[in-house]
Structure 1
Amino acid sequence: MESGWGSTSRTDVEDARRALDDAAVARQRGAARAVSPWWYHVATGLVLFCVFLSFSVGGGVVFFVPPLGAVAVIVLGVLVRRVRGVEVDRTRDLRGGWGPNMCYYGLFLVLTGVGAYLEFGAQWRWSMAVAGALLLVPTIMIGRHNDLAKRRERGARA
């Protein structure tokens, strides 16, 4: 059997096919690890709700709950990185995620503005808490959407 450019042995083809299959399995495992655990987005939504609630409660709570909320989100991110072994909250890397994320950010700004106006301008108590409650489900949904988009981009089945 001659070796040259035009000849390939059966073992070379099988080895190449096996290597491609191994690479596909590794890509799917990596994609599955890059998705946040189920509790991450729920906890992030609850932290956001607690920050909004603190503005309705008033008093000294307003001075320590928002900074604690920021610290809680950072701690959640570190905890997820330790559990999964990868950084999971990277929405800026999503190719098709800008539209839904921009809609969420717009909703966030509108509800924050309306809640703040009603709470502090019109003196309607608990308006900020209601705004936070209305943001709870969209926060969880956009996080889940981003996870599924990351999984699709990295090659695993969503």
Structure 2
Amino acid sequence: METPDVTAAEARRALDQLGADRGRVAARVTAPWWYQLIEGLLLAAFVMCFALDDPTFYLGANAVGFTYIALGLLRRVFTRTTAEPWSDARTWRGGLVQFAIIVPVLAAGILAHRQFDLLWVLVVTAAVVLVLKLVLGARMERAFARSVAQGA
């Protein structure tokens, strides 16, 4: 079977169309802003669970954990794609930075609350974690969109 000769102009048009398609897909793969907000609020709620007594702490922490997992599973519904930022090598760096910043802040706030038993420490920690998740999560989503747009 022979392939027809493709001119340079036809090849250029095909490549331009591919670039446009990548741009459209890149706009769809990112999670909406409210998805990032819910993730941040769940992390803040997890921090606030440490103000609860033992039985309610376990209930609250488990509820937050299950909700966070369900939210992750529903990502494909919200983005209408099967794209996942953690599956992209370029996006991993942003995710690791997010993890490396948020986890120590969480740990420091929780340990300070355990040491001094001050509720305001948890409130401040929850607020800081929420802001960090919004900023760093948006950064990771933008990196993912760039990676898709560039065809990585």
C-alpha distance after superposition, 1:97-151 (max 9, x if no partner): 62x5444333323322322222222222342332122110010111100111111
Indicate yes or no: 2:148 matched with 1:154. yes
Indicate yes or no: 2:64 matched with 1:66. no
Distance 2:89 2:139 in 1: 11
Deviates more, 1:146-155 or 1:37-46: 146-155
Distance 1:89 1:73 in 2: 15
What TM-score do the two structures reach when normalised by structure 1? 0.77
Provide the secondary structure at the position in 2 that maps to 1:63.
Answer: helix
Q: Which residue number corresponds to residue 25 of structure 2?
A: 30
> Which amino acid in 2 is paired with 1:146?
M
CA contact (8 A) 2:85 2:141 kept: no
C-alpha distance after superposition, 1:49-85 (max 9, x if no partner): 1111111133532111212212212222232201322
CA contact (8 A) 1:81 1:88 kept: yes
Runs of 5+ consecutive residues of structure 2 not aligned to the other structure: none
Indicate yes or no: 2:44 matched with 1:16. no
Q: 1:59 to 1:96 in 2, by over 3 A?
A: closer
Identity score, percent: 24
CA RMSD of aligned residues (A): 2.6
Runs of 5+ consecutive residues of structure 1 not aligned to the other structure: 1-9
Distance 1:132 1:87 in 2: 30
Q: 1:113 to 1:101 in 2, by over 3 A?
A: same
Indicate yes or no: 2:52 matched with 1:81. no
More helix by share: 2
Distance 1:17 1:122 in 2: 66
C-alpha distance after superposition, 1:21-61 (max 9, x if no partner): 22111111111111111111100000111111111133532
Q: Which residue number corresponds to residue 123 of structure 2?
A: 129
What TM-score do the two structures reach when normalised by structure 2? 0.80
Indicate yes or no: 2:102 matched with 1:108. yes
Distance 1:115 1:47 in 2: 16
Provide the secondary structure at the position in 2 that maps to 1:95.
Answer: helix
